[in-house]
Amino acid sequence: MKNLIKILPLLLSLTLMVGCAGEFQSTGSGSSAASDSSSDSFHETQERINEQMAVDAANAAAQQQNNDAMAAAQQTMNQHNDEFNRGMDLH
């Protein structure tokens, strides 16, 4: 499930790019208005992809911070348990 969540934004971005590529083929090299529309569509798509990549990078950084915090908490718990167990050995 976690792998699907990681792959989903990539799949959506690829789907969007493929859809826009189909639009470019269907409009061809007609009038300049069609060309401007295709160019605008391409730039909008590129902006959305860039925004999604920025969101993905921010999510990855947040996930890494969470992983680091969990590892630190686990290490603290392990140290506490080790100290507790050493104290029990003295009795």
Neighbours of 32 (CB within 10 A): 9
DSSP-derived letter for residue 1 is: -
pLDDT at position 47:
95
pLDDT-derived band at 66 (thresholds 50, 70, 90) equals very high
pLDDT at position 39:
85
Q: What is the mean pLDDT of the chain?
A: 78
Cα–chain-centroid distance for residue 18?
19
Within 13 Å and on the Cβ side, how many CA atoms surround 10? 6
What's the pTM? Answer: 0.49
**How is 2-54 classified by DSSP, letter by letter?**
HHHHHHHHHHHHHHHHHHHHHHHHHHTT--HHHHHHHHHHHHHHHHHHHHHHH
Q: Which residue has the higher pLDDT, 67 or 15?
A: 67
Q: Which amino acid is at 51?
A: E
pLDDT tens string 16-63: 665 655 555 555 555 555 667 888 899 999 999 999 999 999 999 999
